[in-house]
Structure 1
């Protein structure tokens, strides 16, 4: 990856289509719900991009992308996508893609072994956790064997925080419980694993202030700005991005739910200072990921 040629690093993109094989039963209904929530026709039309298509899209824009699946098969019943396949395709497109992985923390020691192997053999840089989809509190001790592996291997832990489009408007919210994604639960993780870089994904609504407080208080905690069009960011979130958290805020789109084109166009209109924009768009992620 030639970072001098890269204009930005998107820290939050999803591998939504299986690399091989077909979707699980029920996944089309889930994606249709997501498409309606984000006003994105791709899911509704069955046109979600593959990992390879994602690489081509981002290469055209000279934007590097962190990409990951989400292992939530225990809670959702949807078979997880192969971490190895995502990492292999990322390796074939290593000029533009940066591989993260996802492991259900309930897998305990087996999950910890998988995490170590993915870092050592597949070059995975970090791991995505979705407490609401995976049905756990981030500070649940069952997750600590995986955190220990991530920390010892020098990788990053990225946690979904706040409300989610997953299950929004669906009967019973598709079983998704929002309580798991209050970022205050990640504060314990930051205390117990002070050397593990942690990213709080999204503005953490309705717990935005909790997320900002954790990121301000704990040196190893960052915030990615994905999942929302910037025009909807709360004023306090923009204020922190411009000031005390300017070296901890990270550009993220939530592709394919939100495209980087849409996100960047709105970001340019919210009053972020000129000297802060390069930090958010590229330099903070470059430093965090050590690339």
Structure 2
């Protein structure tokens, strides 16, 4: 069965070696790389898990891009159609950010915008986000973000689904919002927000299937089968490792297909 990975990144050295990822390297046992990996290394990991399409993201923070949109466009161009770009922007320059998002979508062919609130230490309800939400609606692309606690050594408060994602969805009912990293330890809040708002979805990036909270597994098996997308957060977790115990989730054929690819194909218009 084909797979779409809703959140991965092909890293640059600026990204892979950033000090904030030291806890993740410690948990995964990975050493800081001394050279940037080739795109083929990422493609090999996708093929190993039957990943048909991976959404590879740009990373922009207060100190500048760790992975720029143009670098992502270069990775996509080398991928033979297996990678699609997800844009990043400088949140503190809202007019420039909207222009860059429009360029990424219209000229580079990117399929979404992703902003990591913890990286900016600004919750999704901050006024700096709002021009971008309107632009996403206008461009017809989802807004992707992170929910739950942060692995990197940064405050976690900005990852709360309530009140932040709930309020954004109320203010922008036409906006599609994809919330990555499950939302733990506020998974029940995240499910409640996804239930409440037609345009809010959850992706499972940064977690292996064995670590999904029980309430998420129940949701995925039942009423939430149209609401949950697979993501790996590669290179922190490879897609194959993230899906290693998929059979243990007890998904029926429809729920499995929607989770692995169908929901992402619809949400991102792939």
Please indicate, yes or no, whether the TM-score normalized by the shorter chain is above 0.5: yes
8 Å contact from structure 2 (residues 8, 231) kept in 1: yes
8 Å contact from structure 2 (residues 39, 79) kept in 1: no
Give the equivalent residue in structure 1 for 2:150.
Answer: 164
C-alpha separation in 1, matches of 2:84 and 2:33: 27
Root-mean-square deviation (CA, aligned residues, Å) is 2.1
Number of equivalent positions: 268
C-alpha separation in 2, matches of 1:216 and 1:188: 14
Give the equivalent residue in structure 2 for 1:53.
Answer: 41
Give the equivalent residue in structure 2 for 1:71.
Answer: 60
C-alpha separation in 2, matches of 1:146 and 1:160: 16
SS in 1 for 2:201: strand
8 Å contact from structure 1 (residues 196, 220) kept in 2: yes
**5+ unaligned residues in a row in structure 2: which ranges?**
none
Report deviation, 1:250: 0.4
8 Å contact from structure 2 (residues 49, 240) kept in 1: no
8 Å contact from structure 1 (residues 40, 258) kept in 2: no
Report deviation, 1:228: 1.2
Q: 1:270 aligns with which of 234, 241, 249?
A: 249
8 Å contact from structure 1 (residues 71, 134) kept in 2: no
8 Å contact from structure 1 (residues 201, 226) kept in 2: yes
C-alpha separation in 2, matches of 1:50 and 1:205: 32
8 Å contact from structure 2 (residues 229, 260) kept in 1: yes
Report deviation, 1:52: 4.6
Q: 1:138 aligns with which of 114, 124, 131?
A: 124
Report deviation, 1:204: 0.5
TM-score by length of 1: 0.85
- Compared CA separation, residues 285 and 40, structure 1 to 2 (3 A): farther
- Compared CA separation, residues 219 and 56, structure 1 to 2 (3 A): same
8 Å contact from structure 1 (residues 242, 272) kept in 2: yes
SS in 1 for 2:206: coil
Report deviation, 1:211: 0.6
**5+ unaligned residues in a row in structure 1: which ranges?**
1-5, 168-175
